[in-house]
Structure 1
């Protein structure tokens, strides 16, 4: 018998589970996320292993969904020293790299910037020849000054020849240094793709330190397991892949919850409400995978265009602070006591009225000491609770694509905040083990690969273009750690681009497969 451990780090709680080969939950734990995120991971892992009684040598897989890289970007800490090369002169000289990026982040990342000649048209034709000598010069200047490099070229999702040659030159001059290529990270749209690539390069060291720390913790527990990281499309990637593309871990927590919700409920198409201690995230399941956003997404106030889940987040969770006013009015959040809920909430002897106190006082949940909230005005609490429900129902309406009611799955430790019926929901499902759906989602996930490219159908033909994209997607899944014999195409999107000549179309393909056994 082989087992797997799944761990997911949230802003308030760090959850862990042990699953058997049939994905049955043998043990689970929920601990408050520590200021030092890694410490919470190790504690959760140790606790769940001891609770399961599973022989350590039989734990073959370990999956981690982590906020390390997200936190680094938001907090502007632990960044790599990044070299930035844009291949696009003279066509792309007017708008400099990191235009529109907050000044504090630009100051940390915008120290070594080089614009060189090259780039392609949408159909793969060179705009101008690639200036290799300029890249050699840039690499010589960056040597000993940077510890990762971000390379972006015009229309590199169509042809990445100039980016790949630049990477070869950089590693020839500098040696073994992480090089992030925009063609492997973002989609069409130069500035947003460049931003995503720069952010990716900036957190390579954070990802590597997290991976090494997690593997060391497993080793200390006597566990020799294959390690995988959660991606933000609800699938997994190998450690090497995660260190190369750490930006793909951003927002993996909500997607783990969506995948876990699908598995626990048996629903492949539904809305999922993931209620944590600080926020409530609402996402959409389509064929058991999270719906992806079609819009550019801001990460740490930086506009990017790499794949992200389509989510609506509201400032409502178990630790959300309720502020009372003299005239019997109130404000719900967005402030939260977060992981300090057990010391700050009234039901635990604290001094802060939280959303958890409201549901306990109204008899809708049994947590802490209900006697500590019995003095509160029940009529006012009823009004507060009704407003909380309205916040969730409004978010449900935002995510629906029609007026028809849809199934809603409630997961997350904070889902005690919501009732068994919500407006806009055909049914409200709160499955067993709902509180650790995120860790379960991380543990059961498949490995995926994705490609997004523009094809000229006059040159390729539609069938040949789609087949080509499928093969690339399967290849990416295999590189990320999937068993090629189990890989299947799970999503295809084909969008004609009328504003480009040559009968152009944008094709996006995702492939997913089971974990490779070797």
Structure 2
């Protein structure tokens, strides 16, 4: 039995095959194409050709992709979204799409409506839902929108109104019409939760194309009857159907795949991970084998959101980063030759000085033709390496929770450029097969379920609240493709709400289980 893992990076698309014992059978790297799909197909074709395995024994295929991120950043392939906010007239002072980039609003149609509904912060009714109002609105929007985002005031406490509006939309537009409910996506905070829900709704066409393209690529290579999963940004997997409901959860899955892969390769559950690609380096923290989650609002494509995101710092430094001297001052990146490193770097006969050339000159790496960089002054090369060390040191300091030195696991195809010692780092572990840690992370991941809600412990005791949240998290994990009898609780986070008079607590529960 075999598993295939594919991860699409900014420079390379990595593909790997693992056997039933999770041992690496073969790996390939292929330049990431502009349309991404071609790069995936090429990597898959080369992998199967070189590995020469029995395709009928492939049981699972996993994909970590940047397509949803790219769609938001590039404003391409996004659906026309209608936004229904349940909170009129209480929330009329701040309208949907406030502080959004103008071009993004135009791309999504800008259709929104404030309708009656919503709750107070303590769960009391703000106003009754007016179903006639919703039906009239849906008639107006017929043919104008391709997806709808529903956002209720304090739906994180009570979301029955959001779910009722979802039912009404499906009655009018059909069961297949894409609907995103904010209570299932974001956290506390109306505007950030609304923003995340709108983005999720906008990605419905992108994720459809991505999943269909991946399944088609597998079928073209004679791989059928396999379980297909997409990677989530918490280091776990989700089924295709679940991904279609929550495409926003694929954003930033690349770095988390690398962090999970690093944990597996180094057999370490608590450490810091540095993943060096061709263009950027990502730094994250492993906690009990999973990436640390960000506790602050995150901007995606210049839009402020509060949905679940990994705590990652990206630095414009990679194996293809261009080295320059400007008025005697050395600069490294953020510009990069990217996937063209094989043609443009000096060691490969090109004309651009890159960090890889410096690594070869100093004997840190043995790639290309080292005689082509022999002319580089050694002191200059050491100066570039010092600059690289300083960039990484500063980024690591931002991720630390104390002043103590940290252990660092080093992965990624560009990791050859990293010095053997960095200030603030006690020891550096270079994981074997670390150059494909991202694809390995994609293929060994479990399936998670997460649930977050505000509970009022004075009305519903803590133990009952925990049981309720865990049951709902388990339901999410099963929907995502986990086997119910393998699911276990891995994380509980309780945040008391100081302004609430009745001991209200934001409770977040996470569970993981094995795939079917």
Shorter chain as normaliser: what TM range? over 0.9
Cα separation, 2, equivalents of 1:370 and 1:139: 66
1:243 aligns with 2:244: yes
Could you tell me which residue of structure 2 aligns to residue 276 of structure 1?
277
**TM-score, scaled relative to structure 2:** 0.98
SS of the residue corresponding to residue 510 of structure 1 reads: strand
Q: In 2, Cα distance between the equivalents of 1:272 and 1:116?
A: 46
Q: Does the alignment pair 1:198 with 2:198?
A: yes
Counterparts of 1:323 and 1:131 in 2: how far apart (Å)?
63
CA distance in 1, matches of 2:114, 2:406: 50
Per the alignment, in what secondary structure is the counterpart of residue 458 of structure 1? coil
Q: Aligned ranges for residues 117-136 of structure 1 at < 5 Å?
A: 117-136=116-135
Pick which of 275-284 and 341-350 moved more.
341-350
How big is the shift at 1:377?
A: 2.5
Q: Identify the range of structure 1 (412-421 vs 503-512) with the bigger mean alpha-carbon deviation.
A: 412-421
Looking at structure 1, the residues matched to 422 and 443 of structure 2 have their Cα atoms a distance apart, in angstroms, of 30
SS of residue in 1 equivalent to 2:459: helix
1:404 Cα deviation from its structure 2 partner:
2.1
Query: Is it true that 1:95 corresponds to 2:101 in the alignment?
Result: no
SS at 2:359's partner residue?
Answer: helix
Cα distance between partner residues in 2 of 1:278 and 1:451? 35
Q: Please tell me whether the aligned partners of residues 261 and 272 of structure 1 are also in contact (alpha carbons under 8 angstroms).
A: yes
Indicate if the aligned counterparts of 1:98 and 1:195 stay in contact, CA closer than 8 A.
Answer: yes
Note the C-alpha offset of 1:397: 1.5
| Contact 1:420–1:429 (8 Å) recurs in 2 | no
Residue in 2 aligned with 1:328? 328
SS at match of 1:401: coil
* 1:140–1:174 CA contact under 8 A, matched in 2: no
Structure 1 Cα separation of the partners of residues 94 and 214 of structure 2: 41
Q: Residue in 2 aligned with 1:183?
A: 183
* 2:97 and 2:110 in contact (8 A); partners too: no
Partner of 1:53: 52
Q: How far does residue 426 in structure 1 lie from its aligned partner after superposition?
A: 2.5
What is the 5 A alignment of 1:147-296? 147-175=146-174, 176-224=176-224, 225-296=226-297
Which position in structure 2 is the counterpart of 1:67? 66
Please state if 1:36 is matched with 2:35.
yes
Q: Number of aligned pairs?
A: 514
Is the contact between residue 12 and residue 339 of structure 1 (CA under 8 Å) also seen in structure 2? yes
Check conservation: 1:118, 1:131, Cα contact below 8 A.
yes
Task: Report the secondary structure of 2:508's partner residue.
Answer: strand
SS in 2 for 1:390: helix
Conservation of the 8 A alpha-carbon contact between 2:15 and 2:29: yes
Q: Distance in 2 between matches of 1:101 and 1:350?
A: 42
Counterpart-to-counterpart distance in 2, 1:267 and 1:363: 28
Deviation of 1:406 (Å): 2.4
| Separation (CA, whole Å) in 2 of partners of 1:89 and 1:348 | 63
Contact 2:120/2:153 (8 A) holds in 1: yes
Counterpart of 1:14 in structure 2 is: 13
Match of 1:109 in 2: 108
Q: State the SS of the aligned residue for 1:332.
A: strand
Q: Distance in 2 between matches of 1:121 and 1:487?
A: 34
Identify the residue that residue 299 of structure 1 maps to in structure 2: 300
| Aligned residues: CA RMSD | 1.1
Structure 1: distance between partners of 2:511 and 2:172: 36
Distance 1:62 1:301 in 2: 33
After superposition, where does 1:259-408 map in structure 2 within 5 Å?
Answer: 259-325=260-326, 327-408=327-408
The aligned counterpart of 1:26 is 25
How far residue 376 of structure 1 moved from its aligned partner, in angstroms, is 2.1
1:110 Cα shift? Answer: 4.1
Secondary structure of 1:85 counterpart: strand
CA distance in 1, matches of 2:192, 2:437: 32
Q: 1:503 corresponds to which residue?
A: 503
Equivalence for 1:443: 443
Question: Are the aligned partners of 2:385 and 2:419 in contact in 1 as well (CA < 8 Å)?
Answer: no
Displacement after TM superposition at 1:277 (Å): 0.7
Alpha-carbon distance in 2 for matches of 1:298, 1:21: 39
Assess if the C-alpha contact under 8 Å between 1:123 and 1:455 holds in 2: no
8 Å contact from structure 2 (residues 29, 43) kept in 1 = yes
| Aligned-partner Cα distance in 1 for 2:279–2:96 | 34
Find the aligned partners of 2:109 and 2:493 in 1 and give their Cα distance.
35
Distance, in Å, in 2 between the alignment partners of 1:197 and 1:233 is: 18
Match of 2:489 in 1: 489
Structure 1 stretches of 4+ with a deviation exceeding 6 A read none
Q: What is the CA–CA distance in structure 1 between the aligned matches of 2:437 and 2:508, rounded to whole Å?
A: 28
Distance 1:402 1:73 in 2: 35
Counterpart CA distance in 1 for 2:109 and 2:222 is 43
Q: Secondary structure of 2:414's match?
A: helix
Give 5+ residue unaligned stretches, structure 2. Answer: none
Q: Deviations over 1:227-258 (max 9, x none)?
A: 00000000000000111110000000000000
Deviation for aligned residue 1:378:
2.1
Tell me if structure 2 keeps the 8 A contact 1:98–1:110: no
- Compute the TM-score of the two structures, normalised by the length of structure 1: 0.98
Preserved contact between residue 330 and residue 387 of structure 2 (Cα < 8 Å): no
Q: Distance in 1 between matches of 2:63 and 2:303?
A: 25
- SS of the equivalent of 1:459 reads coil
2:137 matched to which residue of 1?
138
CA displacement 1:144-187 (0-9 Å, x = unmatched): 11111111111111111111111111111122310011111111
SS in 2 for 1:321: strand
Contact 2:11-2:279 at 8 Å conserved across structures: yes
